[in-house]
Amino acid sequence: MRLVYKILFLIILNLIGHFAIGQSDTTFQSIVLCRGDDFQGQEIIEDTLIFENNGNDHVGYLIDVSFINDFEIMGPESICKGDTLLLTIPDFDSILWNTGELSNKLQILDEGMYQVTVGNVRGCFATVSHKVEKINWDQSITPTDLNCRIDDGSIAVNITDSNVSTTSQLFFGQNLIDETTSQLDTFNNLSPGKYVIKINGSEGCYTTDSIELNAVELNQFNFDIEDTIVNIYSNLLLPINLDFEYQEITCFPEEKIVECGENKISLFVDDDFMIRVQIIDQQGCLLTDSVAVTLGSGYDFYIPNSFSPNNDGSDDDFEIFPGPQVTEINSVTLYDKWGNLIYEMNEKQTDGLRVDGNMFNDLSDNMYAYFITFKLHNGNEEQLSGTVQLFR
């Protein structure tokens, strides 16, 4: 159809030229140019007629402008890290991307300035560009393995240099267990296992990382004895065997504790209570164990089974040592092997008793019997009997 219009146009131009420049014949030439080409110093933008007078020769140039319709590269202007995008243009006779591709579709994997040059069969070309920017953020994910408990692991997330808002999600298996919109945050109280951190950007981008938290082998501490029964007012010694280094050891209840050390605990027992030991090891972990102490009905009373009155300064006298449960000694009697009374004490004593060994120097026996009566803290009266040997 356009060719028919051009023929009609030439006939009209010939008549115009005939009357415009006299009876001289005017010849016409049809020239195809691309839009923007130069013709005789003129930039040609659209179809036009240019006359040239060469003496008696008149030439009319019918300029036929060939052009490529305006177009643009269609596609997103941003790309997520690791994504693949598609840029497209209309179909042309020739296509050349700055990546070397020759089709009207271009797959891209990264940011950049993408340019395409297209052409038609008349040799006209056009070039357009399209900029794609990467949406990205720097992130650091720091796991902290479990230390003391079964649920004291943590994963710290730090997102920097981000122009988009993000949401960090924590998955255990397929289950979402926590999320945060802060770019600097920590997921706490985590058990051992494999976790997935997914960071979602507001532009639809996301990244994932797998993190595994490990449990550590904990130090162990336990008393070497079970719950125990002791006499009232006794001094109790509990051994502690620690095969690891520690920062601090504390014993409770403090008012009962005489000594709280690495190898032993010494304490005074005057009622039923629970002994608790708390140890903080080098990892900062808290270890604890306890033993129940129950008062028994017994008492302590030490009586040597021999003495030697030779004035050497060692065991020269017959002595008795009541324990803290004994409030008073009521009587002490000594008999020889024939049943003869050789010593008697009827005055109440609140402390121990010493019988002078020199009184035995005039006696021939080497074995003596004793009888002792005494009162306990609870008011009960008790008695002890036995034998003691004399070494000369």
Delimit the domains of the chain by residue range.
2-66, 78-135, 138-213, 228-295, 301-390
Structure tokens at 303: 């009586």
Counting as low any pLDDT under 70, the low residues of the chain are 1-25, 55-56, 161-163
Looking at residue 23, its pLDDT comes to 46
301-390 CATH pick, 3.40.50.300, 2.60.40.1220, 3.40.640.10, 3.10.20.600: 2.60.40.1220
Dihedral pair phi/psi, residue 2, rounded to 5°: -65, -35
Spatial separation of the C-alpha atoms in residues 269 and 267, rounded to whole Å: 7
The model's pTM: 0.48
Spatial separation of the C-alpha atoms in residues 41 and 53, rounded to whole Å: 16
C-alpha dihedral sign at 173, 174, 178, 181: positive
Looking at residue 19, its pLDDT comes to 52
Residue 155, burial from CB neighbour count under 10 angstroms (0-12, 13-18, 19+): buried
**Do the domains spanning 138-213 and 301-390 agree at the CATH topology level?**
yes
Peptide bond into 192 cis (omega under 30): no
Looking at domain 138-213, its CATH class is mainly beta
The domain at 228-295 falls in which architecture? Answer: Sandwich (2.60)
